[in-house]
Amino acid sequence: MRDLDDNTWRWINDNGIVYKPASKATRVVRATGQTGKRALQELGTDGRAALLRLSDDIETERAILRAWENGDLSTEHLTTALRRVEEMSVTERRIYKQMARVSGDDAVEVMAKSDGPARRVMTDGGVDMDFRESIARAADSDATDSFDEIDDAVRKIDDLDGEANVRARELVDETDGAGVKLVNELDDDGLQHVFNLDIDAADAFRTAAARHVDAGYADADEVAEFAKHADNLDGIDGLKSGPVDDFVNAGVSGNIRGALDEVRRADEIGAGNIQRMNLEVYDGKDQVGELDIQVKSGKIVESKGSFGYQKDEIASQFEGKLSAMRSHSDVKLDGNTLEIRANKIGDKSLVKSQIEKWENKIATSSEWSNADVSIQVIDESANTIITR
């Protein structure tokens, strides 16, 4: 107590009748040591008074001062945190103390820096404890840039109804700041698409989406678009094992966009016209081929980002897909069509010559059972179809 400066003691003496602070100041300093002494000296009038009035709840006071001492709070934020705790009801104080025990400085930061729904969550007994903890952890996450973002995300989740609300909370429980970032970046339509999605592996998709957006592999618009198309394809065999798994397990942005292209094209074909997706071909235990989409007419549709830049690459792609068609027990080769849809085609004349070569080769080869196969490549950038 001898270390308190003259100005601090003068303030204590001047306000002694109202606050009886001398004994409270002693209690604060004994319980919090040098940190409490420094706080009494550096806080302004309001903050100092709030600190002394909180001396009957040393556990909470220590938690707040610890966050200040660690550099998580400015002195101004320290004052805010002390005032806000002082204004809590008994029930709110009990819930907040529990949060401070579990999440430490994170809960204190939310109480000091949030001006909206996130702060309410810290003391709301009607909110699931896991969700409260995850919002507190989001405060310390690199995925979020400000407390306004956290407040906005909580507000958006509150506005969701029914299962969508539950799923959004579960996502934040699972991914903390990454989930908050995804919720905050989705627009109203996107929120509905993502959190009303009820396909097989929808939870895994949402978790992966949050982490992909946080990592910079995808943006929120792409996530929402994927969810919209996948929802329209619900119930199609191979949707989960094909593009949904590709999205979930994607390690780079190119794989995500490939999965998105596939569900978009399947949705354009129409769920009612699709037999199945992700037709895999095995040689024993080894997968040796795969086909993206089988239409009910039997036609095979392959989804590509870009196609047709080198002769060997074109030939290899044709041979691989035609071989998979020949080997898969549920796919016809003779009388069938292989259609490749790409965002962009490189050398159209080279693609055309390879189509002619492979159609002729299959028709004249006993190895291919002299099958009659049509090959066509669609350039979506120019809305053109390349055939022989």
The pLDDT score that the predictor gives to residue 104 is: 79
Residue 342 DSSP one-character state:
E
- Residue 322 — φ and ψ, nearest 5°? -65, -40
- Residue 29 — φ and ψ, nearest 5°? -70, -40
The answer on pLDDT for 18 being more than 50 is no
Q: What is the pLDDT of residues 74-117, one digit of tens each?
A: 999 999 999 999 899 999 999 998 888 888 789 999 999 998 89
CA distance 239 to 267: 11
The pLDDT score that the predictor gives to residue 17 is: 33
How many CA atoms within 13 Å lie on the side-chain side of 278?
15
The pLDDT score that the predictor gives to residue 23 is: 72
Q: What is the pLDDT of residues 166-220, one digit of tens each?
A: 999 999 999 999 999 999 999 999 999 999 999 999 999 999 999 999 999 999 9
Of all residues in the chain, the percent with pLDDT exceeding 90 is: 76
Q: What is the pLDDT of residues 293-308, one digit of tens each?
A: 999 999 999 999 999 9
CA distance 195 to 203: 9
Is the distance from CB of 32 to CB of 61 less than 8 angstroms? yes
Q: What is the pLDDT of residues 308-339, one digit of tens each?
A: 999 999 999 999 999 999 999 999 999 999 99
Q: What is the pLDDT of residues 221-251, one digit of tens each?
A: 999 999 999 999 999 999 999 999 999 999 8
Plot region of 20 (φ>0 → left; ψ -120 to 50 → alpha; else → beta)? left
The residues, ordered by sequence, that sit 6+ positions from 153 with a Cβ below 8 Å of its Cβ are 138, 172, 180, 181, 183, 184
CA distance 114 to 28: 26
Is the distance from CB of 45 to CB of 84 less than 8 angstroms? no
The residues, ordered by sequence, that sit 6+ positions from 87 with a Cβ below 8 Å of its Cβ are none
Instruction: Please name the residue that has the structure tokens 């690199």.
Output: 142
Instruction: Please name the helix (run of DSSP H) or strand (run of DSSP E) that holds residue 69, with its range, or none.
Output: helix 58-69
